[in-house]
Amino acid sequence: MSPEIKPDFLISPEGLRVDGRRPDELRPIELKVGVLKQADGSASIRQGKTYILAAVYGPRELHPRHLTLNDRAYLRVEYRMATFSVPDRKRPAPSRREKEISMVIANALKPALFLEEYPKAVVDVFIQVIQADGGTRCAAINAASLALADAGIPMKSLVPAVAVGKADGQLLVDLGDEEDKYGQGDVPMAILPQTGEITLLQQDGFFTREELIEAMQMGINSCKYLHELQKDALKRVYVRNPEDGEDDFDDDLEADLGESEIMEDE
Ligand code: CDP
The closest-lying atom of ligand 1 relative to the alpha carbon of residue 90 is 23
Is residue 80 pLDDT above 90, yes or no?
Answer: yes
Q: Which residue from 136, 162, 189 has its CB within 8 A of the most atoms of ligand 1, so it is best to mutate? A: 136
Is 196 strand, coil or helix? coil
Residue 205 phi/psi, 5° resolution?
A: 95, -175
What residue's CA is closest to ligand 1, atom 3?
A: 135
What residue's CA is closest to ligand 1, atom 9?
A: 134
pLDDT band per the 50, 70, 90 thresholds, residue 25? very high
Residue 184 phi/psi, 5° resolution?
A: -100, 5
Give the residues surrounding ligand 1 with Cβ less than 6 Å away. 86-87, 90, 97, 132-137, 163, 177, 180, 188
In percent, the amount of the chain with pLDDT more than 90 equals 83
Q: Which residue from 47, 49, 86 has its CB within 8 A of the most atoms of ligand 1, so it is best to mutate? A: 86
Whether residue 84 contacts residue 128, with contact meaning beta carbons closer than 8 Å, is answered with no
- Tens digit of pLDDT for each residue in 167-212? 989 999 999 999 999 999 999 999 999 999 999 999 999 999 999 9
**For range 34-51, the mean pLDDT:** 98
Q: What's the pLDDT score for residue 238?
A: 93
Cα 115 to ligand 1 centre (Å): 30
Lowest mean per-residue pLDDT among 74-78, 100-104, 256-260: 256-260
What residue's CA is closest to ligand 1, atom 13?
A: 134
- Please tell me which residue, 64 or 8, carries the higher pLDDT value: 64
Cα 133 to ligand 1 centre (Å): 7
Whether residue 113 contacts residue 148, with contact meaning beta carbons closer than 8 Å, is answered with yes
Q: What's the pLDDT score for residue 266?
A: 37
Q: Report the mean per-residue pLDDT for the chain.
A: 91
Find out if CATH 3.30.230.70 is the number for domain 29-241.
Answer: yes
Q: What's the pLDDT score for residue 217?
A: 97
Q: What's the pLDDT score for residue 228?
A: 98
Sequence-ordered strand ranges (E) for the chain = 29-33, 41-47, 50-61, 74-81, 121-131, 161-167, 170-173, 185-192, 197-201, 204-205
Cα 16 to ligand 1 centre (Å): 23
Is residue 143 pLDDT above 80, yes or no?
Answer: yes
- Tens digit of pLDDT for each residue in 226-242? 999 999 999 999 987 66
- Tens digit of pLDDT for each residue in 50-73? 999 999 999 999 999 999 999 999
Q: Which residue from 96, 180, 202, 203 has its CB within 8 A of the most atoms of ligand 1, so it is best to mutate? A: 180
What residue's CA is closest to ligand 1, atom 22?
A: 86
The closest-lying atom of ligand 1 relative to the alpha carbon of residue 136 is 1
- Please tell me which residue, 209 or 1, carries the higher pLDDT value: 209
Q: What's the pLDDT score for residue 250?
A: 46
The closest-lying atom of ligand 1 relative to the alpha carbon of residue 180 is 10
Q: CA–CA separation, 15 vs 18, rounded Å?
A: 10
The closest-lying atom of ligand 1 relative to the alpha carbon of residue 175 is 3
